[in-house]
Amino acid sequence: MKTAPLVIVVGFLGAGKTTLLRDLLPALESRGLAPFVIINDYQNARVDAASLNAPGRTVAPINGNCVCCDSVMELMVTLVEVPEAENRVVLIEANGTTDPTALIEHLLVNPRLRERYAPLLQVTVVDAKRWQKRHWHNELEHLQVETSSHLFFTRLDSETPERIAEVRADIKFFNPRAEAVELNALADLFEKSAKNPQHPAEHHEHAHGDAHSHDNERHSLSHAFVGVQLDLPTPISSTMLQEWLHGLPSSVLRVKGLVQLTDAHNDWFTFQRVDASQTGTALMKLQQTPIVPSCAVLIGVKLNAVALADQLRRVLEPAVGGSLA
């Protein structure tokens, strides 16, 4: 059996994991690679999967709170069933609160996966703007870089050289072995790994030496989050969408979704908001019609699904001329 590189992409909520994959996949395909992407996310992973889909590309969504726990069996089955292909590379985008240590343990102890995938790599996406500004979530962010083989930094353009140096030094303290890479370097690395497959016994040599010393208390940090999915009207005006997003409570750490707009009935768009102070949310046109209806997925701590639905309801009422009751 020919082995394929297996890449885990982790990073805190809104760090830029899906954006990285959106830019990386065409670069891999232009090099003759055959990427297979697995997306794990709260409530509805098909939202992000829709933004990555393109003709001839396979993107498999896995719904659930955590591929390191709740959805681990579905992930294992998906990995076993990935079709073999020349120059295959498999990428797992884990949700923003995944404990990578637990996930790596599951991958390493499964003999079928050990024979199938080599090398095992972890790319952590680091948001330079928000690094260690997560308040009580800072420990989880540290946890996500400790087992990295590679680091990909986002939002560098918005920060000073001093801030960037501080972030890099902080991360180096927690993981001195990880290599910071840019997009083309990642594509080159995956091309080399796919076209020059290793023997399965060789693929555990990078920065996962401490993966088996799992700390249950720290792992519990990744389970303090919940996801709420809300249906959105089809179509919805851009103004109303922005009004609703701007009015969300600070307990919502991230919101993303799929919509059709009143002034572009034939097109679908994906959106996300990470920062509660963000005044506007960019919309990105999708290449294909999604298989899920217009909706939004909200992620945060102790979210009140009823209160969030009521808030959306109040924003929508003017559009239908009064109460929706």
Give residue limits of the domains in the chain. Answer: 4-221, 224-320
User: What SS3 class is residue 288?
Assistant: coil
pTM value is 0.75
> Of the candidates 59, 64, 22, which has an alpha carbon nearest to the alpha carbon of residue 37?
59
Residue 93 has pLDDT above 70, yes or no: yes
Considering the domain 4-221, what is its CATH architecture?
3-Layer(aba) Sandwich (3.40)
Q: What is the mean pLDDT of the chain?
A: 84
Average pLDDT over residues 260-273: 88
Buried b (16+ CB within 10 A) or exposed e, 59-86: bbbbbbbbbbbebbebbbebbeebeeee
pLDDT-above-90 percentage for the chain: 49
Contact 95, 18 (CB under 8 A): no
- pLDDT tens across 114-137, in order? 889 999 999 999 999 999 998 888
Paired strand residues for 257: 271, 296
> Of the candidates 147, 41, 37, 151, which has an alpha carbon nearest to the alpha carbon of residue 102?
147
Contact 149, 179 (CB under 8 A): yes
- pLDDT tens across 239-256, in order? 999 999 999 988 887 788
Residue 36: per-residue pLDDT: 95
User: What SS3 class is residue 281?
Assistant: coil
The separation between the first and the last C-alpha atoms of the chain, rounded to the nearest angstrom, is 59
Residue 32 has pLDDT above 70, yes or no: yes
Packing angle, helices 100-109 and 138-146, rounded to 10: 30
Token readout for 65 is 């709170």
Token readout for 24 is 């990386």
User: What SS3 class is residue 159?
Assistant: coil
Residue 313 has pLDDT above 90, yes or no: yes
Range with the poorest average pLDDT among 89-93, 169-173, 189-193, 260-264: 260-264
Average pLDDT over residues 266-271: 91
- pLDDT tens across 51-92, in order? 787 877 888 888 766 666 667 888 999 999 999 999 999 999
Measured CA to CA, the distance from residue 8 to residue 100 in angstroms comes to 8
Residue 217: per-residue pLDDT: 55
Peptide bond into 235 cis (omega under 30): yes
pLDDT band per the 50, 70, 90 thresholds, residue 323:
very low
Q: What value, to the nearest 5°, has the Cα angle with vertex 18 and ends 12 and 19?
A: 105
CATH says 224-320 is which class? alpha beta
Average pLDDT over residues 211-220: 51
> Of the candidates 94, 125, 144, which has an alpha carbon nearest to the alpha carbon of residue 23?
125
56 in the Ramachandran plot: left (φ > 0), alpha (ψ -120 to 50) or beta? left
Average pLDDT over residues 268-278: 78
Token readout for 321 is 């001329």
pLDDT band per the 50, 70, 90 thresholds, residue 95:
confident
Residue 276: per-residue pLDDT: 60
Token readout for 173 is 């303290």
